Structure 1
Amino acid sequence: MPGRPDADRPQVRAPGHQPDIANGPPCPWCSTPNRPDRHYCARCAMPLVASGDQATARAPWWRRLFGGRRRETPWAGDRPRLRRVFDRIGTWITVAVLATLAVLGFMYIPDGIQNTRDHFAKRAPVSPDGIKASRSFPGHDPKLLVDKLSNTWWGPGITESGQGQWIEATFTEPTRLLDVIITPGVSSSANKLQESALPHRIKATITMKDGSIKTRDLTLDQGAGGQRRPFRVGEVTKVRFTIESAHAASAEKQVAIAEIEFFGPSSANRSS
């Protein structure tokens, strides 16, 4: 009975130099050329890149933002991360938000700078070139509002709150106004507050150099003396103060205003 033939023993052959990888990177351990996409040597299985060189340089932020970074070949056993649609959407949402903030900053930063300057600017009195009123009580015309005296006053000559009555100040040259001080009543003295009704809410209609209109709502307290209110408008040619309501209005009293003072930036601000 013939015997069972023995199988040939396998022969281990070392990989030789293949023509298609003749120019591949050599293994730093055994000098065997390898394909450029390999991470381990085909012969000795040692890493083809030294451990100190494995950390690649971080891509610039604009490449990471727009997805322009180079993607390396995944290592054996690693599952490449699938790119999700939401990653791209999130990127463009971020770009849109940044662009919106840039546009808003370009629009509002100049106003913010001007408001900061106005806040810290030194104030100087500004006198209007003309003043008139809707109507006046005899002997108490609107010029008394800007005479620098606190014991003279203007009144419309009608009782109750004087709602709808107005005073209008004009400026020949466009003027930047920062503050206004209004002294309600017939005097700045507290013992004369009961002699007239006191303006409570006043609407300031401001005409600019280019003809545009701005408004300010001023609310005055029921007290004696001048009351300062911020204005902060530039290139003003006309301001109309319209009375909307009054304190202590009655059929025996008319509303009265002793003084209106305007303040703008001092010339010292420009010279400094």
Structure 2
Amino acid sequence: MTSPTSPRRPGDPAPPSEADRARALLLPVSEPEGTQDLDGDGVPAVLPGRPEPAQPPTRLATPAEESGLTCWNCSFGNREDRIFCRNCGAELRNPPTLQLPPPPRRSLKKPLLIAVAVLACLALVAGIVAAVRAFSGGDALVPAGLVVAPPEQAEATREDPQHPVRNAFDGVTDSWWGPGRAGEGKGEAVQARYVRPVHLRAIRIHPGVSTRPADKEKQARPREIRVIVTDGQGKGSEKRYRLEDGKPLLAEIDVPEARQVQVVLESAYGATGGRQVAICEIELFRAPA
């Protein structure tokens, strides 16, 4: 049912039409600025560019030089009445105290290990020397400052055909000389000669058939001997020596022009049971040339 409308009075505006009411619902939209076509050629108008004026270069203000206090942190100069550095802000009156680390404690572990290693090496060397001496029956090294002087000729009053006198001067201790008769061999002698005079300084005699302790009892060993050294003029000097059983004898004989050396047997150890006296090596030493 349609509501009744009031009658229109003279002078009243005409009621809006349907098109007017629809147009009133639309929101007006304005043209964007700068895109209006003023000339009607389809190209929006553009304002001409405006040059920017040149700007003067910017300079940083340099602080005035000050003296009196030098900053401990940045070495910058400051007036004496300043409390803080004007450059880095550090406090000028109370610079921090440098705290040095405590000195490192010296460890005794490393020196102790070195000392132990040195002692171990010395003990090893001493053990090797002792083993060599035990095996050889004595010190087989050349005395300090001397050189070996092997004789040019060797003779003996008697010799065992299987153990001739040359074995006593062959430079090895596993061969030996024997007089070829059982007993102490008193008076039997070995003689070494030189064609040219030699300044002899020492003699070393290795008793027995070898320097190995296991071979000690195989033959008799010299106990008392005489050593006679004769020079080029026929003048001789004689000394008597007593050997310890199974140990070598090292004796000094200082003859400047020696031509002949004799080792004469006087008594022996273990000269029983058909054993003869044995000497495995006689070494003569001279002064260096």
Shorter-chain TM-score: which interval?
A: 0.5 to 0.7
Q: Which moved more, 1:204-213 or 1:130-139?
A: 204-213
1:48-85 per-residue CA deviation (whole Å, 9 max, x = no partner) reads xxxxxxxxxxxxxxxxxxxxxxxxxxxxxxxxxxxxxx
Runs of 4+ more than 4 Å apart? none
| Counterpart Cα distance in 1 of 2:199 and 2:169 | 18
Deviations 1:198-228 (A, max 9, x none): 001111122111111211112211024x331
**1:39-50 to 2 correspondences below 5 Å:** none
Tell me the CA shift for residue 251 of structure 1: 3.9
Deviations, residues 99-154 of structure 1 (Å, cap 9, x unaligned): xxxxxxxxxxxxxxxxxxxxx97111101010010111121111111111110000
Q: Are residues 1:146 and 2:172 paired? A: no
Q: Secondary structure at the match of 1:192?
A: helix
Match in the other structure for 2:217: 194
What letter corresponds to residue 258 of structure 2 in structure 1? V
C-alpha contact (below 8 Å) 2:208/2:246 kept by paired residues = no
**Residue 259 (structure 2) aligned to one of 237, 257, 269:** 237
SS at match of 1:159: coil
Give the TM-score, by structure 2 length: 0.49
Q: Deviations over 1:19-76 (max 9, x none)?
A: xxxxxxxxxxxxxxxxxxxxxxxxxxxxxxxxxxxxxxxxxxxxxxxxxxxxxxxxxx
Q: What is the TM-score normalised by the length of structure 1?
A: 0.52
Asked if 1:180 corresponds to 2:203, the answer is: yes
Task: List alignment gaps of at least 5 residues for structure 2.
Answer: 1-142
Q: Within 2, Cα distance between the matches of 1:121 and 1:172?
A: 25
For residues 257 and 223 of structure 1, the distance between their equivalents in structure 2, rounded to whole angstroms, comes to 10
Distance between the aligned counterparts of 1:165 and 1:258, measured in 2? 15
Counterpart of 1:172, as a letter, is: V
CA distance in 1, matches of 2:144, 2:195: 23
Matched, 1:247 2:263: no
Give the 5 Å matches for 1:201-212.
201-212=224-235
What percentage of residue pairs aligned between the two structures are identical? Answer: 30
2:187 is the alignment partner of 1:164? yes
Contact 1:156–1:165 under 8 Å retained in 2? yes
Contact 2:203 2:282 in 1 (8 A): yes
Q: Residues 42-81 of structure 1: matches in 2 within 5 Å?
A: none
CA shift, 1:191, in A, is 0.6
**Aligned CA distance change for structure 1 residues 197 and 210 (closer, same or farther; 3 Å):** same
Distance 1:209 1:251 in 2: 42
Matched, 1:256 2:278: yes
The one-letter amino acid of 2:266's match is E
Is this contact kept in 1: 2:190–2:262, CA < 8 A?
yes
Aligned-partner Cα distance in 1 for 2:144–2:178: 33
Distance 2:144 2:239 in 1: 21
Return the letter of the residue paired with 2:233. Answer: D
Report how far residue 240 of structure 1 moved.
Answer: 1.1
C-alpha contact (below 8 Å) 1:121/1:266 kept by paired residues: no
CA–CA distance in structure 1, aligned partners of residues 268 and 256 of structure 2: 29
1-side partners of 2:150 and 2:260: how far apart?
12
Correspondence for 1:95: none
Q: Which runs of 5+ in 1 are unaligned?
A: 1-119, 268-272
Secondary structure, aligned partner of 1:194:
helix
Moved more, 204-213 or 141-150: 204-213
